[in-house]
Structure 1
Amino acid sequence: MEINNKLSEVKIRDVSLRDGLQLTGGMLSTESKVALVRELLANGIDEIELGSMARPDLVPPLANSLEVVDQLEPEELEKCWIWVATPKHVMRAAAAGARNFQYCFSVSDSHNKANIGRTTEVSLDALPEAVKYCEEVGGKIQLCLATSFTCPFEGAIPEERVVDIVSDARTAGTSDVVVCDTIGQATPDQVSRLVAKVGEVANGRRIIYHGHDTWGLGVANAVSAVKAGASVVDGALGGLGGCPFAPGASGNTATEDLLYAFQPDWLTTDSFERLVRAGAKLVAELGEENQSRAAKGAFASPESYQWSVKAGVA
């Protein structure tokens, strides 16, 4: 596998509207979510997780995800992904207009049972059917592996367990492999090692790194992932997020922090400021604390610093 280690060429996927909302007390209207999707895309964000097919009674902030899909234009949906866990999820989301699906299950049985009510093997068995439905609408489907590093119930996950799943013939037809540090316990060395091993068996699929900042290593882990072969990293505005079925999980690595660290080729000081302000507005609307260190730094820095942002969120 050819690896491009140029950090500024990494793609940033914002997951504020899926993972970012899972533990929030506040709710966002369909209109607010659609507006945020458009704000993110207008300011350079490459891809977006716009929502989830999870049961609305279990994750109420994501209940209007299909309404968001319905309000977006086809060209906008081309850059958006929706979380699915079953073939039926794919069918329903596709009927609403979605074309990019993130088929997610946990590497550990314990977390998969807690999260989506079935064993890892059952989820893997159902994947070919989900791929078939995706292909029927000309879409793309990702293989998303939660608890790739540690599980809140089982502890450390053997690397070969992840590699074996990625190598499994039942994952054929997936476009990407999403390697998830679900509860934010991985270290840069662990991330580098696992991403490299996954790359050896990915057969040309993109590798996406999804990290959390529980132990303060979110950005460092993302950098290690890219150096090891990942081409996309996930983040959420304001560091929002966490899994309701993973004790000890905290927010995602902040999108703002990833932008400042990687400074992708398209990023300008103006687009950075607009995205920082979008994050500040979002967390204020949800009644959450802004966990982004870059956002705090941008608001606190003197105007002489090129990445500073004047006080205020309007």
Structure 2
Amino acid sequence: MTRAVPDIVIQEVALRDGLQIEPQWVETDDKVDLVDALAAAGLRRIEVSSFVSPKVVPSLWDADVVFKRIQRRPGTVYSALVPNLKGLASALRARVDEVNFVMSASETHNRANVNMSHERSLAALAEIVASARPAGIKVNATIATAFGCPFEGAQPLEKVLKIAGRYLSFGVDGITLADTTGMANPRQVSALLADVLSLTSRDRLTLHFHNTRGLGLVNVLAAYDTGARRFDTALGGLGGCPFAPGATGNVCTEDLVNLFHEIGLSTGLDLQALIALSRRLPDLVGHDVPGQVAKAGRAQDLHPIPTALQNSG
């Protein structure tokens, strides 16, 4: 039976963007179980881990082991972040389906995040695309701090568009606009997105929002109304950039799914299964997580009438 095409495409990033900032180690077996459970809940795009130096991100040193142990579902894209050719080589050995590359619109944040200038980062991306294509691996390129930098502030629209143009000139398969520290507002999102959609199609563009200042889902709706259909999210609202002061979690997967289901749009995801998974996260990471639907339940999950009211007249 052919699966219906959902209105919204969601990529789960909790395993990479979520766990990279967590101080408590999450066991490899738990990571594998979580990837498999997310795929079983309907997710067809999962960023499993990253192939970076374990000295920089020690919480993800087991990326190759996780990729080896997951049960790959047909039609599911299992991706990883890579910063350079060395990371790509590791990703190829792990049989990833897609790699994600990140460069910040802000030169200052790019140096803090990956210790490279823009030109060095762009040269690394060109090498990655040239090496990935013969291997049949797709390349997505992210523009971090696209909506603002914690060091430099707002980034000029022209700068973000220029970077997007350079990415496309290298032949990337997709672009992500990332609000790395939750500085975006709905009007800004609509304006930037409209211009980027003049360069590429909505099927090749992903939006990555953080909820740092409480505007995550508002920005998602602004992006949807402007034409976006692909979003990064993290189960439980986990996440945050280790190299951005004040960074907090991604837009929460189950909260975003609930939002779109409530307004009549399909995601192809099992919300109840996602809620159950999210409720397991505090035990894995050692603290409460910011997601709301997992705490309150869905709007249609009604409660029993109190006994005192049942017996009153």
TM-score normalised by length of structure 2:
0.88
In the alignment, structure 1 residue 278 sits paired with structure 2 residue 282 = no
How is 1:169-180 mapped onto 2 (pairs within 5 angstroms)? 171-180=169-178
Distance 1:276 1:161, change over 3 A: same
- Give 2:104's aligned residue: 106
In the alignment, structure 1 residue 28 sits paired with structure 2 residue 26 = yes
CA offsets 1:103-126 (integer angstroms, 9 cap, x no match) = 111111111111111012210122
Q: Secondary structure at the match of 1:227?
A: helix
Distance 1:205 1:227 in 2: 15
User: Does the 8 Å contact 1:207/1:229 carry over to 2?
Assistant: no
Q: Between Structure 1 and Structure 2, whose CA radius of gyration is higher? A: 2
How many pairs were matched up? 295
Distance 1:225 1:32 in 2: 33
Distance 1:38 1:209 in 2: 24
CA offsets 1:58-87 (integer angstroms, 9 cap, x no match) = 211111112111223554695121011112
Partner of residue 206 from structure 1, selected from 199, 204, 207:
204
Partner of residue 97 from structure 1, selected from 81, 95, 108:
95
CA offsets 1:246-271 (integer angstroms, 9 cap, x no match) = 00111111111111111252557xx2
How far has the Cα of 1:281 moved from its partner?
Answer: 0.3
Instruction: Report % sequence identity.
Output: 36
How far has the Cα of 1:88 moved from its partner?
Answer: 2.2
- Give 1:85's aligned residue: 83
- Give 2:266's aligned residue: 265
- Give 1:50's aligned residue: 48
Partner of residue 248 from structure 1, selected from 226, 246, 249:
246
Distance 1:171 1:101, change over 3 A: farther
Question: Bigger CA drift: 271-280 or 168-177?
Answer: 168-177
- Give 2:213's aligned residue: 215
User: Structure 1: 5+ residue runs without aligned partners?
Assistant: 1-7, 306-314
- Give 1:289's aligned residue: 288
User: Does the 8 Å contact 2:189/2:219 carry over to 1?
Assistant: yes
In the alignment, structure 1 residue 137 sits paired with structure 2 residue 135 = yes
Q: Secondary structure at the match of 2:280?
A: helix
TM-score normalised by length of structure 1:
0.88
Distance 1:42 1:158, change over 3 A: same
Distance 1:228 1:98, change over 3 A: same
User: Does the 8 Å contact 1:167/1:202 carry over to 2?
Assistant: no
User: Does the 8 Å contact 1:99/1:137 carry over to 2?
Assistant: no
Distance 1:203 1:266, change over 3 A: closer
User: Does the 8 Å contact 1:128/1:170 carry over to 2?
Assistant: no
- Give 2:145's aligned residue: 147
User: Does the 8 Å contact 1:111/1:151 carry over to 2?
Assistant: yes
- Give 1:167's aligned residue: 165
Distance 2:48 2:232 in 1: 13
Letter in 2 for 1:265: S
Letter in 2 for 1:244: P
How far has the Cα of 1:284 moved from its partner?
Answer: 2.3
Distance 2:50 2:268 in 1: 28
- Give 2:113's aligned residue: 115
RMSD, aligned α-carbons: 2.0
Distance 1:107 1:297 in 2: 37
How far has the Cα of 1:203 moved from its partner?
Answer: 5.9
CA offsets 1:93-150 (integer angstroms, 9 cap, x no match) = 1122113000111111111111111012210122121001111210100011111011
Question: Bigger CA drift: 85-94 or 111-120?
Answer: 85-94
Question: Bigger CA drift: 119-128 or 198-207?
Answer: 198-207
User: Does the 8 Å contact 1:238/1:283 carry over to 2?
Assistant: no
CA offsets 1:2-61 (integer angstroms, 9 cap, x no match) = xxxxxx601111110011012212222222111111111111123111111122122111
CA offsets 1:266-286 (integer angstroms, 9 cap, x no match) = 557xx2121111011023221
User: Does the 8 Å contact 2:9/2:267 carry over to 1?
Assistant: no
Runs of 4+ aligned residues of structure 1 deviating over 4 Å after TM superposition are: 73-78
- Give 2:15's aligned residue: 17
How far has the Cα of 1:161 moved from its partner?
Answer: 0.6
